[in-house]
A = this chain, B = another copy of it.
Amino acid sequence: MNVRGRVTLPIEQGMDDQLPQILDRLGADAVRNSDGTWLPEITSQLGVKVYETYFPARGNQEFALAHLDARPRFYLMSDRVTAPAEGPLAIDIMNGYYKMQVEPDQGDLQRWWEVIDRTTGEVVPVEGWSVSGEGADVTVTIAAPVAFHVYTVSFLAWQVWDSTQMYNYTTNNWENDPTRVREIGYDARHPDAWEFMTSSMRKWCEERPEVDVVRFTTFFYHFTLVFNDLGKEKYVDWFGYSASVSPLAMEAFEAEYGYKLRAEDFIDEGYYNNSFRVPSKVFSDWMDFQSRFVSSRVKELVDIVHSFGKEALMFLGDTWMGTEPYGKYWPEIGMDGVVGSVGSAATCRMISDIPGIRYSEGRFLPYFFPDVFKPGGDPLGEANESWLQARRAIARKPLERIGYGGYLSLAVQFPEFMARIEQIADEFRSIHEVGEGHLPQSSTIRVGLLNAWGAQRSWQTHMVAHALWYKQIYSYLGVLESLAGLPFDLQFISFDDVRDGKLDDLDVVLNVGAAGTAFSGGEQWLDNDLITALRGFAANGGGVIGIGEPSAVQHQGAYFQLSDVLGVDKELGFSQSTDRYPVERPEHFITADLPGALDVGEGAGDIFATGDATQILRLQNRSVELAANQQGEGRGVYIAGLPYSHENARVLHRAIFWAAGREADFDAQWVPSNVGVEVSVFPEAGKAFVMNNLTEAAATTLRGRATGLDGDGAITELQLDLEPMESRWIDLQG
């Protein structure tokens, strides 16, 4: 295949001679600049679409400096400080914060700040504390604290320096570059700022007839990113709203919702409503409020862009709070496309599944930056790793476009890398060519992932910072990573959805996460309607898969409230007196492709079978790691953790089939015998896309029907020998 298109490349000045040929080789139909590069004059003659980056809420330092009251703010909490035996307690609220980034906002602080006794949870009355100091040196003194109680100060602060620009600035040592300033942002809610944003947008569009696509580096409110007193990252929450606050917004909220906000609504005991917290009513209201505001304002900017005949493309994202693409108001914006960084199959699906846009684009790794494109660097290896991860997801739900970022002049110094991304671009386009607009086929088993967030956080569960490894998430992220390449149409459903009857639309439901988190559900499971809905679902033949600490909350003699369905519970110490005689019975449909131990990552602690009916499929160190339980008509599967691996994805694939009671169909699903190989079936085209996910050669057999995953025709068996990383289109007819 040698079709052109669907690929965006970064270009820069000084490469005019090479550019046409490079674009042609890769079939690139769009170009972009990067942070620190400018498009060459030749661009308009290249016959490609032109992207240019735009920052709505920062970038004009002159405006920013003239409107310091338009700076965005955030809510921050001081250290936890223990009161002495007697006398007042002085808290240096800026201790541990970076004074270049944060400055307390002392405006009406009695209204917006809060001093809390963390031993009791009580608020200290405003008469009980006073503030001294100014600028970034501010002390709060509690006149008469209770001896040995712990206190915190919640304070509103100015964002003195834009978080992303600060990150780029410090990372790239721009302090040595006199052309760089420390950029200050401005808040779209400030009337002057908003007026400035719209007029700037118009002016910018006017001045750039050559730009086809405005690539918004998202919009107004940065995710929570706070630095410490050494300028190192102190707090990061890619989903955080604590940098979206302002008195203006909070007063508008109060006027609309009829209740006052308080600092603690954002501070949340110091957890800042991160997405692991079961969202409070107030926080959900705030998200809705800000999302509605941001979306409506973004729509105005997008309308301006459209009025100039340009497209609006959102980078997902830095200042993306309020434009979450699975949010309620997103489709109303009318964004043309979303581009995002692809770090895994799950992040790829996070982009490719976005509703309400015409196209999604994945920015692939590696970024053309000197950290990788240097002597001794391995850009080829990184490209392969990135592609192998993303290809599984693309073959399930294709991105419309792919692209790269950074400095092309660096990349061309690595010819093997350039040759490889040429192959990748062709391989990518073939999925669109063969698929002819059809998506690959999914199993008819309807699968839902249940947590407190539901659809609002589709493909965004168990994440802290974007696509980074954390010890407490990788054993759960593996579930999403597996599902991102498995042939199921995954629905993300919330506990409220369950209460609204949503389980009727599902065959199998998963609850995945650590106890108490929004992903497991915490005290949500004390709700009788929720728990009986799940038990009823199982009793009627539904499948329930629990991973980690599903439905966990200590109550009435059980920790997993779904222990009856799952057949397992967790030992917290209280039930050690009950003797257990666990027997591993490792042979099962679910483990048919898992010859040895299951890698459960961090695992879930001491899991025991609640009765003899539970089939323990894997038992390690006296703890159940994989179990299957028939409960009435329905089935429960428990997995202690599922970091991503080819084997684990297969275990989940089989677990879903077993939970759905559909294991008899599995043999005709074109599932490769080799777990390192995966397949996407396109019945309309009569073809299947077979991917060797391994960096070594792979032999496999495949069994399925000419009709694809369904039907009742004869089953054909194919034998394939695949090169390392190879993908191959095969004919379903055999």
Chain A residues within 8 Å of B, Cβ to Cβ: 79-80, 82, 84-85, 116, 118-121, 146-150, 152, 224, 228, 232-237, 240, 269-272, 274, 276-277, 464-465, 470-473, 513-517, 528, 531-532, 535-536, 539-540, 554-558, 563-564, 571-579, 581, 606, 610-611, 621-622, 631-632
Contacts and interface: CB of A to CB of B under 8 A. Distances in A.
B576 A464 contact: yes
Most buried by B among A120, A224, A228, A577: A577
Given A531-B119, A571-B472, A574-B277, A557 B152 contact: yes
Nearest to A274: B577
B473 A576 contact: yes
A576 B472 contact: yes
Given A235-B578, A236-B579, A516 B572 contact: yes
Q: How many copies of this chain does the complex contain? A: 2
A457 B343 CA distance: 55
22 contacts: A80-B563, A82-B564, A84-B632, A118-B557, A119-B532, A120-B528, A121-B556, A148-B539, A152-B557, A233-B579, A236-B579, A237-B577, A240-B577, A270-B578, A271-B575, A464-B577, A472-B571, A473-B576, A513-B573, A517-B572, A517-B573, A517-B574
B276 A576 contact: yes
A621 B602 CA distance: 11
Given A517-B574, A579-B236, A536 B228 contact: no
A573 B521 CA distance: 12
A119 to B, nearest CB: 6
Given A82-B631, A270-B557, 14 more contacts: A80-B563, A80-B610, A85-B540, A148-B536, A150-B556, A152-B557, A224-B577, A233-B579, A270-B575, A271-B574, A271-B575, A464-B577, A470-B576, A472-B571
A260 B228 CA distance: 59
Contacts of A555: 121
A80 B558 contact: yes
A607 to B, nearest CB: 12
A532 B574 contact: no
Contacts of A119: 528, 531-532, 556
Contacts of A148: 531-532, 535-536, 539
A526 to B, nearest CB: 9
B473 A234 contact: no
Contact of A611 (B79, B269, B514): B79
Contacts of A472: 571, 573, 576, 606
Contacts of A632: 82, 84
Contacts of A121: 555-556
Contacts of A517: 572-574
Contact of A232 (B270, B578, B581): B581
Contact of A573 (B147, B514, B574, B611): B514
Nearest to A270: B557
Nearest to A537: B148
Contacts of A535: 82, 148
A274 B554 CA distance: 16
A149 B528 contact: yes
Contacts of A573: 276, 472, 513-514, 516-517
Nearest to A96: B611
Most buried by B among A149, A236, A574, A631: A574
Given A557-B270, A558-B118, A579 B536 contact: no
Contacts of A277: 574
A421 B467 CA distance: 65
Contacts of A557: 80, 118, 152, 269-271
A576 B146 contact: no
Contacts of A470: 576
Contacts of A237: 577
A134 to B, nearest CB: 26
Contacts of A575: 270-271
A277 B606 CA distance: 18
A6 to B, nearest CB: 36
A501 to B, nearest CB: 15
A698 B615 CA distance: 50
Contacts of A516: 554, 572-574
A554 to B, nearest CB: 7
A708 to B, nearest CB: 36
A38 to B, nearest CB: 34
Contact of A80 (B228, B232, B531, B564): B564
A386 to B, nearest CB: 25
A236 B577 contact: yes
Contacts of A79: 611
Contacts of A471: 606, 621-622
Contacts of A554: 516
Contacts of A606: 471-472
Contacts of A269: 556-557
Contacts of A85: 536, 539-540
B274 A556 contact: no
Most buried by B among A79, A85, A232: A85
Nearest to A579: B233
A632 to B, nearest CB: 8
Contacts of A579: 228, 232-236
Report, nearest first, the 8 A-B pairs whose CB atoms are least far apart.
Answer: A269-B557, A148-B535, A148-B532, A270-B557, A237-B577, A118-B556, A514-B573, A271-B574
A573 to B, nearest CB: 5
A471 B558 CA distance: 19
A589 to B, nearest CB: 24
A176 B516 CA distance: 54
Nearest to A513: B573
A558 B150 CA distance: 11
B514 A572 contact: yes
Contacts of A235: 577-579
A288 B611 CA distance: 35
B532 A577 contact: no
A173 B286 CA distance: 71
Nearest to A577: B237
A449 B650 CA distance: 49
A236 B515 CA distance: 28
Nearest to A464: B576
Nearest to A116: B556
Contacts of A228: 579
Contacts of A532: 119, 146-149
A563 B528 CA distance: 35
A569 to B, nearest CB: 10
A536 B149 CA distance: 10
